Amino acid sequence: MKKSILIESHFMPSIEFFSALFSFDEVILEANEHFQKQSYRNRCYINTAQGMRMLTVPLHNAHGKVLMKDILIEPGITWRNVHWRTIESAYRKAPFYDFYCDELKEIIFKNHDHLFELNRDLLSFCLRQIGLKKNISATLAYEEAVSENIFDCRSLISCKKPFEHRNFFTPKKYQQVFGNEFVPNLSLIDLLFCEGPRVSEFIQPF
């Protein structure tokens, strides 16, 4: 069995993302790919009173071929304030919001310059709350081919194609804050705020 997964960096990753890496000991983040626009690299989806909402991190230099590790976040706190107000409005009534909100807010408002570092901190936060112990590392250079003990998952999880087109996980319903219709595969924070310590039960692959 392959022990490591090679995957691109996502912003507040989806439940599918964590299901994909669930069985691996090591997570290798691709730091040396060219940044891809309109991808999970700087966006995620949450559930609000108005329905599913996309949160996007504004970028300073995402023009042309820029390596993921070199992508800069737009300076200032305007977008951070907007993100947090949206998250707070969506989840403050969720059962486990108070358990996780302070640490999540601290990460979002931390003065990250680079998207890669923000995403890595958010990934570490999510894994810690889930209780999944993974070794996290980053690539030193881009390589087309990888060794046999590494599962190459780069660019397989795309927001341009529904998760049903892949076989990483089958969603399990849980009680969400808004709406009578279940919305699957949102950012893990939706599941975390709603289910707390039971999160791992919903991300384990079948």
The average pLDDT across 77-100 equals 98
| CA gap 103, 98 in Å, rounded | 10
Residues 120, 125: Cα–Cα separation, whole Å: 9
User: How are beta strands 150-152 and 4-8 bridged, if at all?
Assistant: parallel
Among 163, 182, 124, residue whose Cα is nearest residue 19? 163
The tally of domains found in the chain comes to 1
Q: Identify the domain containing residue 184 by its residue range.
A: 4-203
Split at pLDDT 50, 70, 90, the class of 206 is low
Global pTM value? 0.95
At 110-153, the pLDDT tens digits run 999 999 999 999 999 999 999 999 999 999 999 999 999 999 99
Q: Render pLDDT for 31-66 as a digit per residue (tens, 0 to 9).
A: 999 999 999 999 999 999 999 999 999 999 878 899
In angstroms, the CA 197 to CA 98 distance is 13
DSSP type of residue 114: B
